[in-house]
Amino acid sequence: MDLRVGSPVVAADPRVLIASANLRDLGGLATIDGQRVRAGRLFRSGHLSELDRAEAAILGGLGLRTIIDLRRPSEVADFPTPDLDGVDRLWMSVSPEDSEFAVAANLLFGNQPEQVDIATMLEGYFRNTVTNRLDGYRPVFEAATDPDRQPLLFHCMGGKDRTGFVAGVLLRLLGVGQEEVMADYLLTNEILGDWMARRADQARQRIAQRSGVGPDQVDERHLEGIRAMLYTRPSFLQASFDAVTDKFGTWETFRRDGLGIDDARFSAFFDAVVA
């Protein structure tokens, strides 16, 4: 299904390659100093287990050398990534089963979900990714910054949170401005907007049935947390960016001390993906 239908902005964006998988090229984004990220080097996406034949052909035509899978074991088992000839698949789970997202999902099915501030919990998830969970992400960035592994694709389930964090960090390190990086992060809401709206409506129907009321009588506060889980929000990724500056001061220090990427490695990466 082409989720770009009804979204002319997304349909006209050449970086969006497979809308149903939220797969897009990071190439084409401008850096602050006037250069651009090269097309065909770095890709981001959601899971790839349900591609149709045409979509699989697009994926196969990317010439990938590496796919990094950021998902938890249960997600990998339920939605396996397809095997591609000549492509090295790296499984690097970065989010524990008891992460803030998992806890938030469980709380949404409690008796009074409107009393749980899911958005604040998810902001905590993004902040803690920098302050408490970098150990899990260092191997991801080590692989992603290796020119010999490119073209490279990294993905999670929806391609928005774990993937959004990795994409945001890589783009900021390459010198893409924060406004452009945030726009790329929020583009998921347009690409998957129809799917997200359907999921929110399904949640409304379930709540109504459980509560014995009509769908139009469901308290909107019940749905606020569900929407926070479904949609990307500026405050989420911003929480990670703020944590970078609060803890490390600069992105260069974060790159060196936080991610362990030295100057020589980063220079080779930069030369490979920016022109």
Residue-wise pLDDT for 106-120, tens only, equals 666 555 555 678 899
In which residue are the tokens 């299904």 written? 1
In which residue are the tokens 């790159």 written? 255
Distance between CA atoms of 115 and 140, rounded to whole angstroms? 36
Distance between CA atoms of 96 and 71, rounded to whole angstroms? 9
The pLDDT assigned to 155 comes to: 98
Distance between CA atoms of 21 and 48, rounded to whole angstroms? 6
Write down the pTM of the prediction.
0.91
Query: Per-residue confidence of the chain (275 residues) as pLDDT tens digits?
Result: 333 333 445 556 889 999 999 999 999 999 999 999 999 999 999 999 999 999 999 999 999 999 999 999 999 999 999 989 999 999 999 987 777 777 776 666 555 555 678 899 899 999 999 999 999 999 999 999 999 999 999 999 999 999 999 999 999 999 999 999 999 999 999 999 999 899 888 888 887 887 788 888 887 777 888 888 889 999 999 999 999 999 999 999 999 999 999 999 999 999 999 99
Given a contact cutoff of 8 angstroms between Cβ atoms, the answer to whether 68 and 140 are in contact is yes
Distance between CA atoms of 88 and 80, rounded to whole angstroms? 15
Sheet holding 42-45, edge to edge: 16-18, 23-25, 42-45, 152-155, 66-69, 88-91
- Separation of CA 143 from chain center: 17
User: What's the CA angle centered on 208, arms 207 and 212, to 5 degrees?
Assistant: 120
Residue 202: CB atoms within 10 A of its CB come to 11
Looking at residue 253, its amino acid is T
Per-residue tokens: 213: 């009321």
Given a contact cutoff of 8 angstroms between Cβ atoms, the answer to whether 60 and 29 are in contact is no
**Is the C-alpha dihedral spanning 176, 229, 8, 58 positive or negative?**
positive
Give the relative orientation of helices 100-107 and 118-131 as an angle to the nearest 10 degrees: 170
